[in-house]
Each structure stands twice: as structure tokens, then as C-alpha cells.
């Protein structure tokens, strides 16, 4: 292991042998990959998904619909395919997540599938995914959390390093080319949280996938860049960590593998992760005590410091805004007793009975909810600490609960049944053939044995 971060990650991408990767790590990729394919299927049902496909057809020279499994036209350059794919994947805020890192899986899946590599065996897919995931997580750890607090969207800025790693691995680039690719992708890094609640937020995921594909392809044709872009003055770390870097992260490359520890959280609800613990709490209290929405007079949420920061809409008027509104998701949960894709139709957000309940949600941050890091110096919004949720009824009763780990987190993983239900919800939202879709899900469960992933997905075109 060298002291040079850029060399460390490039060596890791190029030199890690398949046999160096533990079998459990390879196996652990299958759930997030399936989950990602599902949310990409559902992507066109969101406004950002519809619009990115419209754009793709506009810039395509043969813009027929549905030529690819993503429904994008087939003749776009790989980086545009990657951008469209991962914008679809993040369009519903339903793709998986990893605390402090963002949403790597959609980015990686979209980048890998966009690259010209035929056939693409299931083993290659898994291999590129697990390497890309590791680099994405460890570079995010290296950059630290101050980066996000300053206003950048880590999914986008750091996500490009993960997709670059996956692409370089898949294209079998040399260490030198891989270092160049990281240099290129550092100059592509961007993405502001100010765009949350608009279609540009999912675009960030698409851009991260695009950036990796673009950087790796340019490096593969001999394009040069600074070979030490993570190191020294005015490096990516220097400029984007905002003084909050954690150099020790590099020592943890592959030790443990991030896909195993901490491991991804598959989202149970299609909205901002910072709402998941409160939703769990409200649904639990409601079910345990047999409460109707009408019984509720007040909802109190105490969140860890920083836990409300991404929830910027208090009076959402679109489904997309509703995903970033704690008031809306809790009101919808009370009325519908579930939070699913249909909860974020634009009409759903405007329902009068929901609007009434939104007004009774009282949420605030409380440092005692994050005892290990009261000021959230190193914590992201949706993880660490716990949420306290109280339901006050009109009858004067108060029910309360505490939620530490949300459904779908490594501590409470989704069951295969949950995963299937989510996949099915996604197939329906995307108006896809359910039978063929579920068959694909079965085949993907044995991803390592698939001889050509592209051929498998080609059966899913509409």
C-alpha cells in the first residue's frame, strides 16, 4: 500500500484478483443489482425519467421508442446511455443507499451496462460492480461529510469515481490509464443540493454514471490527466473535502468490503431516506394501536441533528417535492397506511385530507437524538442516532416509539418477499410485462451464472 491515494485506488482497481474478493462480497451484490434493475424499470413513471427519455430521443438519430431495456433508443453513445439509465434509476428516489456515500448502485449498474462489452457475463458484471462500489464508498469516506454539508451532492461528485473504477475494471485499463481516468473524472465532478426537489437531482445520478463512462473511455484512447488527482495541494481532496478529509479511509480498501460492511440499504419507501425512520415509526404506532388518520391530532418527530436538512419542502405541490417533505410523507402514511410509488403522483400530494394532516406534523432536530455525534460532524441525515416519534390522538392519548434502524437497512434487511413486491410495484409503475419481469428477477438471483447479461435484458424491451 502506497501513501499516494490515487495510486492506491488505481492499483486496487487493476490488481485485485477475483480470488481476492470474498465470496460473500460477490454474493452481496445480487440484491442491490436486482433492486436497481427494478427502480430503472419504474423510472419512466417519474417526470425526470420521462423527460430524460424525451431528451434521449431528441438527440438520437433513430429515435424509436423502447429499443433498449431502459426504453431509451439504442444508438446513443455509451456515456449518454449511462446518463439516461441512472437518471431513470434515481428518478423516483427509490434506489438503494449507503449512509454518507449516497446512492452508488444505480450509478454502477447503469455505467456497467452502458459500456461496449459483449457478451457481459454475470461474473464480470458482479466483479466491476463490487470494485466500483468499494472505490465509491472509500473515496466518499476519504472526502468526509463536510463536503455534503457545504452543498455538494456526494452521489454525483464522488459517484463518478465509483463508476470510473467500475468502467476501468470492465475495460481492463492499465494502472496508468486508470489514474488518468480518475484525473479526468475529478474535472467532471459537480452536483449541487440546491437542485434537490427538481428533476436535476436524479440527473445527478445520471451524470455520475456518465462521468465514469466518459472518463474511462477517454483514458482508454490515450487521454491524459493529472495522475495524482487525489493527492497534494489543489487536488480533488484538497478542494472538495473542505478540510474534513479522513485519510485513514484509504487503509480500509477491501478491509472490510463496503458491500458487506456497512452494506447497502434497500429502500422500502420511494422517498428521501431521511424520512424512512419517521415513516417506520408512524406506521408501527398506527398499526399497533389501530389508529385511523382521523384519530390523530398531532405528530411529533424528534430527529438527530442534520436529520431534517434535506427535507426542504414543507408545502410540496408536486410528487417530486413530496419526496423531500417530511410533513407530506407522514400525512400520506397516516391516510394510506403505506408509502408506495402511487403516493407520489402529483394528484396524491394535493389531496385535502392529506394537506390537513400535514399541518399537524411538528418536527425538530434534537442533539440528544444523536448521542454519538451531537453536532453531526460526521453523520448523514438518514443514519446514526435515532428518531423519536409520538402520535397524539384527539382522545388525548400519546403513543411513542423510537426508531434506530429503518426497514431495509442492514440491521433490518428487506426479505426476498419484500424485494419481489417492490420489483413488482416497479414493473407496474413502468408499465412493463410483469411475467417477463419476474422471470428476469429469478434469473438475476443467479447472476453469477448468467452468460450474457445484455442478452437477458434484451428480452425486456417493449
Partner 1 sequence: MTTTTAQLAELVSGSEPRNSTVLDHNAVRAIIDSVGVVVAGRTSDAGTALGRWATRASGNTREPWWEVPRTRPPEMAALVTSTCGHALDFDDVLPGAGHPSSILLSAILASPVAELSGRQVLDAFIIGYEVNARLAKAVGHQHYRHGWHTTCTIGGFGATAAVGRVLRLDAACTRRAFGIAASLAGGLQRNFGSMTKPLHSGLAAHNGVLAAQLAATGFSADEAVLDGQRGFLDVYSMGAQRLDALDGLGQRWAIREPGPTLKKYACALEVYRVVEASLALQVNHQIDVTAIKAIRCLVPPGTLGPLRDDDPTDGLEAKFSLSYAVASAMVDGDLNLHSFTDDAVARAEVRDLMTRISASEDIACRPEDPSGRNSSASFGGFVRVEIETHAGERHSTIVHDVIGSPARPLSDEERRTKLIDCVVLGGGRADAATALFDELSSLPTTPDTRALLRRRLSSAYEESE
Q: Which residues bind partner 1 (CB under 8 A)?
A: 47-48, 51-52, 54-55, 58-61, 75-77, 80, 116, 150-153, 156, 180, 183-184, 186-195, 198-200, 203-204, 207, 217-218, 221-226, 229, 233-236, 238-239, 320
Q: ∠119-122-127 over CA atoms, to 5°?
A: 105
Closest to partner 1 by CB, 175 vs 360, is 175
Closest to partner 1 by CB, 36 vs 193, is 193
CB of 253 to partner 1, least distance (A): 22
Taking the alpha carbons at both ends of the chain, their separation in whole angstroms is 48
Closest to partner 1 by CB, 28 vs 142, is 142
Please give the C-alpha separations between residue 358 and each of 197, 298, 306, 448, in angstroms, as whole numbers. 18, 10, 21, 46
Can you say how many angstroms the Cα of residue 29 is from the centroid of all Cα atoms in its chain?
A: 14
Strand partners, 364: 302
Q: What are the E-state strand segments in 187-331?
A: 296-303
Provide the CB-side half-sphere exposure for 282 (13 A, CA): 32
CB of 414 to partner 1, least distance (A): 31
What cell does 12 get?
Answer: 486496487
CA 20 – CA 131 distance, rounded (Å):
11
CA 103 – CA 171 distance, rounded (Å):
23
Closest to partner 1 by CB, 152 vs 306, is 152
CB of 33 to partner 1, least distance (A): 26
CB of 451 to partner 1, least distance (A): 23
| 341 contact partners, CB below 8 Å, separation of at least 6 | 42, 45, 92, 94, 270, 425, 426, 429
Closest to partner 1 by CB, 86 vs 200, is 200
Closest to partner 1 by CB, 199 vs 260, is 199
CB of 151 to partner 1, least distance (A): 3
Q: CA nearest 258: which of 133, 357, 366, 157? A: 133
CA 323 – CA 97 distance, rounded (Å):
15
Classified as helix, coil or strand, 398 is strand
CB of 147 to partner 1, least distance (A): 10
Angle, nearest 10°, between helix axes 5-15 and 122-143?
170
Q: ∠80-82-87 over CA atoms, to 5°?
A: 100
DSSP classification of residue 399: E
CB of 363 to partner 1, least distance (A): 20
CB of 376 to partner 1, least distance (A): 16
Closest to partner 1 by CB, 223 vs 399, is 223
Closest to partner 1 by CB, 318 vs 421, is 318
CB of 319 to partner 1, least distance (A): 12
CB of 62 to partner 1, least distance (A): 8
| 375 contact partners, CB below 8 Å, separation of at least 6 | 305, 367
Kindly give the pairing relationship between strand 361-365 and strand 296-303. Answer: parallel
Closest to partner 1 by CB, 39 vs 184, is 184
Closest to partner 1 by CB, 198 vs 433, is 198
Kindly give the pairing relationship between strand 296-303 and strand 387-393. Answer: antiparallel
Contact of 442 with 434, CB cutoff 8 Å: no
CB of 164 to partner 1, least distance (A): 13
Classified as helix, coil or strand, 362 is strand
Closest to partner 1 by CB, 189 vs 301, is 189
Amino acid at each position: 500500500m502506497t501513501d499516494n491515494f490515487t495510486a492506491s485506488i488505481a492499483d486496487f482497481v487493476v490488481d485485485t484478483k477475483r480470488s481476492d474478493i470474498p465470496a460473500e462480497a460477490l454474493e452481496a451484490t445480487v440484491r442491490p443489482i436486482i433492486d436497481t434493475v427494478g427502480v430503472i424499470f419504474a423510472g419512466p413513471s417519474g417526470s425526470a425519467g420521462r423527460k430524460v427519455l424525451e431528451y434521449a430521443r431528441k438527440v438520437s438519430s433513430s429515435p424509436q421508442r423502447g429499443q433498449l431495456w431502459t426504453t431509451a433508443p439504442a444508438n446513443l453513445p455509451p456515456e449518454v446511455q449511462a446518463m439516461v439509465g441512472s437518471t431513470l434509476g434515481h428518478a423516483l428516489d427509490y434506489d438503494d443507499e449507503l449512509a454518507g456515500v449516497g446512492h452508488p448502485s444505480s450509478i454502477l449498474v447503469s455505467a456497467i451496462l452502458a459500456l461496449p462489452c459483449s457478451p457481459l457475463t454475470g461474473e464480470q458484471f458482479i466483479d466491476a460492480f463490487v470494485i466500483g462500489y468499494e472505490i465509491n464508498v472509500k473515496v466518499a469516506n476519504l472526502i468526509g461529510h463536510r463536503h455534503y454539508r457545504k452543498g455538494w451532492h456526494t452521489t454525483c461528485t464522488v459517484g463518478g469515481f465509483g463508476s470510473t473504477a467500475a468502467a476501468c475494471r470492465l475495460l481492463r485499463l492499465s494502472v496508468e490509464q486508470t489514474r488518468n481516468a480518475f484525473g479526468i473524472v475529478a474535472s467532471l465532478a459537480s452536483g449541487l443540493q440546491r437542485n434537490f426537489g427538481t428533476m436535476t437531482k436524479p440527473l445527478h445520478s445520471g451524470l455520475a454514471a456518465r462521468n465514469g463512462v466518459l472518463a474511462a473511455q477517454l483514458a482508454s484512447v490515450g487521454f491524459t490527466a493529472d495522475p495524482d488527482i487525489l493527492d497534494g495541494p489543489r487536488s480533488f481532496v484538497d478542494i472538495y473535502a473542505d478540510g474534513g478529509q479522513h485519510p485513514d479511509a484509504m487503509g480500509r480498501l477491501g478491509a472490510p468490503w463496503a458491500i458487506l460492511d456497512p452494506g447497502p440499504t434497500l429502500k422500502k419507501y420511494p422517498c428521501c431516506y431521511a424520512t424512512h425512520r419517521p415513516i417506520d415509526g408512524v406506521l408501527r404506532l398506527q398499526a399497533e394501536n389501530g389508529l385511523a388518520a382521523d384519530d390523530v391530532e398531532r405528530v411529533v418527530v424528534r430527529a438527530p441533528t442534520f436529520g431534517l436538512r434535506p427535507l426542504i419542502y414543507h408545502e410540496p405541490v408536486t410528487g417530486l417535492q413530496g419526496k423531500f417533505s417530511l410533513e407530506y410523507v407522514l400525512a400520506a402514511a397516516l391516510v394510506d397506511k403505506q408509502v408506495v410509488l402511487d403516493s407520489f403522483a402529483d394528484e396524491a400530494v394535493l389531496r385535502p385530507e392529506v394537506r390537513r394532516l400535514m399541518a399537524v406534523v411538528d418536527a425538530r432536530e434534537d442533539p440528544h437524538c444523536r448521542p454519538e455525534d451531537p453536532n453531526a460532524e460526521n453523520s448523514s441525515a438518514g443514519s446514526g442516532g435515532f428518531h423519536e416519534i409520538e402520535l397524539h390522538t384527539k382522545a388525548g392519548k400519546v403513543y411513542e416509539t423510537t426508531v434506530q434502524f429503518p426497514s431495509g437497512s442492514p440491521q433490518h434487511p428487506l426479505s426476498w418477499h419484500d424485494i419481489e413486491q417492490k420489483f413488482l410495484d416497479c414493473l407496474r409503475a413502468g408499465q412493463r410485462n410483469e411475467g417477463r419481469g419476474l422471470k428476469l428477477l429469478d434469473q438475476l438471483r443467479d447472476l453469477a451464472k448468467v452468460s450474457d447479461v445484455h442478452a437477458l435484458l434484451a428480452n425486456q424491451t417493449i
